[in-house]
């Protein structure tokens, strides 16, 4: 049980780490409770109830039901000042957990396989600490966001007013990152994560007997040419000094070995960092599909979704986070700028509205076999990273909300 919240306590900077370290048992407990009760996007009812219970216990004012299951909590300092947002995503993935641990998922087919349970625990720890030691200037808004993994909860939360009343002037967030070892922080100015776009294309040919191909329009042949041609977009249409990916992840067609398939369906994803390519890939993919289908006498239906824009960090806020990271990890080698990834994140929508920084917190520990990749059924992380996450957030508040 966490102690009651004193309203006028301050703590010296040299004691911050020790004070936060004392929270580690609670941080681990909160994380494990959340891990046992994972919920998919916009279904995070138990998660939201748990967060509300803690915030109420600590006397932290908050709104619930924001964009469905989202929560916005506010911690005010003793002095007037700016408004800083801290975002934590809450949702899990449709994955069956294979870890044999006491805190494994109790929900069949659903698992916290990306560290969002840790994100919530870190944000709760930060809110608890700041409510106990509010000797800072300004206000911190905690945005507990649903549905990062899909279909996307950031945009609905923004539309529901999560960044207003009071207006958030800057925002930060972190992602526990098993691509980096424990004790490191990945901080990068500019594009950190890629735009995420998805597409599905149904090609309609004309089926028939495998021995009489001239009477058919072979959808598999057409689809195969489409798959090959789509790879030329990055190779021949994208500036080679810029990065992009077109991946085909699904190709479904056919029902028998001696039957030419009547239709075929392909689906994939597009990733890029440069905002100037917004709208380009959807147009180019349709041009290629249309041209190939026309040349073979096939038709098509293309469904294209621009899901998330790229995650673009603000230079000034990134410099602040980088300076904080250097003080937390206490070695320049522990701050890693080469951390860019083609993964996507709807934190991007918050960063489009206000300046901010999204950063990675290394959470892998190979010695403990806690280094499986994200979205793997054996994903887990070293829980000693949790107080480090709280310290990063607290020191960012300390650096941004100055008197």
State the catalytic residues.
91, 148
User: Is 321 in contact with 172 (CB distance < 8 Å)?
Assistant: yes
Tell me which DSSP letter residue 10 carries: -
Instruction: Give me 147's structure tokens.
Output: 């549905």
**Structural element, H or E, at residue 214:** none
DSSP per-residue codes, 327-374: HHH-SGGGEES---BS---THHHHHHHS-EEEEEEEEEBGGGTB-PPT
Measured torsion, CA atoms of residues 374, 307, 143, 175, in degrees rounded to the nearest 10: 20
User: Is 130 in contact with 124 (CB distance < 8 Å)?
Assistant: no
* Residues in Cβ contact with 128 at an 8 Å cutoff, skipping those fewer than 6 apart: 2, 5, 23, 26, 54, 58
* Residues in Cβ contact with 8 at an 8 Å cutoff, skipping those fewer than 6 apart: 78
Q: Is the dihedral of CA 365, 370, 373, 379 positive or negative?
A: negative
User: Is 142 in contact with 123 (CB distance < 8 Å)?
Assistant: yes
- Cα angle 321, 323, 326 (rounded to 5 degrees) comes to 110
In a 13 Å sphere around the CA of 19, the CA atoms on its Cβ side amount to 20
Q: Strand, helix or coil at 131? A: helix
Tell me which DSSP letter residue 276 carries: G
* Residues in Cβ contact with 207 at an 8 Å cutoff, skipping those fewer than 6 apart: 216, 219, 259, 260, 261, 262, 263
């Amino acid at each position: 049980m966490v102690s009651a919240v004193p309203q006028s306590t301050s703590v010296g900077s040299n004691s911050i780490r020790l004070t936060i370290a004392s929270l580690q048992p609670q941080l681990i407990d909160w994380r494990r409770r959340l891990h046992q009760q994972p919920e998919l996007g916009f279904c995070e009812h138990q998660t939201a109830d748990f967060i509300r219970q803690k915030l109420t216990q600590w006397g932290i004012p908050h709104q619930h039901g924001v964009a469905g299951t989202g929560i916005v909590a506010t911690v005010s300092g003793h002095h007037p000042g700016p408004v800083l947002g801290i975002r934590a995503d809450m949702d899990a993935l449709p994955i069956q957990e294979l870890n044999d641990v006491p805190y494994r998922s109790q929900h069949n087919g659903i698992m916290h396989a990306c560290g969002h349970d840790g994100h919530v625990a870190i944000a709760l720890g930060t809110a608890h600490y700041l409510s106990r030691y509010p000797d800072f200037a300004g206000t911190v808004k905690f945005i507990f966001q649903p549905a990062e993994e899909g279909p996307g909860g950031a945009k609905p939360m923004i539309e529901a007013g999560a960044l207003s009343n009071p207006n958030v002037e800057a925002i930060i967030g972190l992602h526990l990152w098993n691509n980096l070892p424990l004790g490191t922080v990945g901080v990068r100015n500019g594009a950190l994560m890629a735009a995420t776009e998805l597409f599905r294309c149904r090609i309609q040919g004309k089926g028939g007997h495998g021995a009489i191909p001239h009477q058919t329009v072979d959808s598999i042949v057409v689809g195969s040419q489409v798959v090959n041609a789509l790879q030329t977009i990055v190779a021949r249409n994208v500036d080679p000094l810029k990065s992009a990916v077109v991946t085909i992840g699904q190709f479904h067609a056919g029902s028998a070995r001696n039957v030419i398939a009547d239709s075929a369906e392909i689906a994939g994803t597009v990733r890029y960092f440069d905002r100037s390519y917004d709208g380009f890939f959807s147009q180019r993919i349709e041009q290629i599909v249309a041209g190939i289908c026309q040349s073979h006498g096939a038709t098509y239906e293309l469904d294209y979704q621009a899901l998330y824009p790229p995650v673009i960090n603000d230079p000034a806020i990134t410099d602040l986070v980088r300076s904080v990271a250097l003080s937390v990890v206490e070695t320049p080698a522990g701050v890693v700028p080469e951390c860019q990834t083609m993964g996507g994140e709807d934190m991007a929508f918050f960063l489009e509205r206000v300046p901010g920084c999204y950063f990675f917190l290394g959470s892998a520990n190979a010695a403990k076999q806690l280094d499986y990749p994200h979205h793997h059924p054996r994903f887990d992380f070293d829980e000693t990273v949790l107080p480090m996450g709280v310290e990063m957030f607290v020191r960012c508040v300390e650096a941004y909300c100055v008197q």
